[in-house]
Amino acid sequence: MNLTRIAQFATDVHPAAEYDGFIGWVLSLMETLGEVGVGIAVLVETFVPPIPSEAVLPGAGFLAYESRMNVWLAWALATLGAIIGAWAWYGIGYAFGRHRTRAIVGAVPLMEHEDFDRAEAFFARWGGTAVFVGRCVPLVRSFISIPAGIERMNLGKFTWYTFAGSGLWNAIWIGAGYIAGPAIKPVLEKWSGVLSNLVLVAIAVLVLWFVAARLLRLRRVRAANRAAQDAIEDAVETVVETVTDREIGPDTPVRRTSDDQPN
């Protein structure tokens, strides 16, 4: 094997291959997709809330520290992905109105009507500030755009608040990965395999907790609804029986039909 072949083989090895396990795979995938992949990840998170952008953005910052990604372009595309996702939910609220949009949110797996109600109450109280702050709150940032669309908030104003909130949030997390790069790199080079297993366990625990909490809450809500329905039915039945007993009591004269008349 000559030097040319050796050099070609070296360039064919993916730069992130020095890291093992899940962390190495994520970094390799992010580097392969590039800055566009960061934006797509943030956009997807808008519609699949259990996938947190906080798990992606620091990795982008770390790759930028290693000069494998442009930090400003990663930030810009991540913010653009957040804006596009916010526009989508804004459009749904604008087009369908409150009741139909609430039904759509409730039909999304693992989502509840209460998620919509909380976002709506938050927006009703704070208005445009809710859009800015809501972009930094998990779950809320996925749905805060809906009441803005329902209330026909000015699209330019909505876009500005979304840009400001998402831009700040993305800058914090990408910047954290970039700044922590010198401390993270030697740790990853030595312990990336072990850390990958810990990350996978943590992700699995968080996902299971989220799913279990949602299912238990849904079961409690359904049980409460059934109990309320049974209570209403019992109350109606009691009222009907009371009214019937009063109408047909011991002192109520009995009306005779023609057949009951004496000959």
Q: How many beta carbons lie within 10 A of that of residue 60, not counting itself?
A: 34
Rounded distance between C-alpha atoms, residue 81 and residue 130, angstroms? 19
Q: What is the pLDDT of residues 40-86, one digit of tens each?
A: 888 887 776 656 677 778 888 888 888 888 999 999 999 999 999 99
**Residue type present at position 160:** W
Q: What is the pLDDT of residues 189-224, one digit of tens each?
A: 655 565 556 666 776 777 787 777 767 876 776 777
Q: Rounded to whole angstroms, what are the CA distances from 9 to 3, 27, 28, 67, 68?
A: 10, 20, 17, 21, 19
Q: Rounded to whole angstroms, what are the CA distances from 50 to 2, 197, 237?
A: 50, 19, 45
Q: Is 134 exposed, middle or buried (0-12, 13-18, 19+ CB in 10 A)?
A: buried
Query: Using an 8 Å Cβ cutoff, are 77 and 38 in contact?
Result: yes
Query: Using an 8 Å Cβ cutoff, are 135 and 162 in contact?
Result: yes
Query: In the 3-class helix/strand/coil scheme, how is 27-84 assigned residue by residue?
Result: HHHHHHHHHHHHHHHHHHHHHCCCCCHHHCHHHHHHHHHCCCCCHHHHHHHHHHHHHH
Report the chain's mean pLDDT, rounded to a whole number. 75
Does 92 score more than 70 pLDDT?
yes
| pTM, to two decimals | 0.64
Q: What is the pLDDT of residues 237-256, one digit of tens each?
A: 776 667 666 655 555 555 55
Q: Which residue has the tokens 């090895």?
A: 13
- Give 111's DSSP letter: -
The two tokens of residue 94 are: 């604008």
- Provide the pLDDT for residue 73: 93
Rounded distance between C-alpha atoms, residue 190 and residue 196, angstroms? 12
- Provide the pLDDT for residue 251: 57
Query: Using an 8 Å Cβ cutoff, are 35 and 74 in contact?
Result: yes
Does 28 score more than 60 pLDDT?
yes
H-type helices in the chain, by residue range?
3-12, 21-47, 57-65, 71-107, 113-126, 128-134, 140-143, 145-150, 155-179, 181-247
SS3 for 130? helix
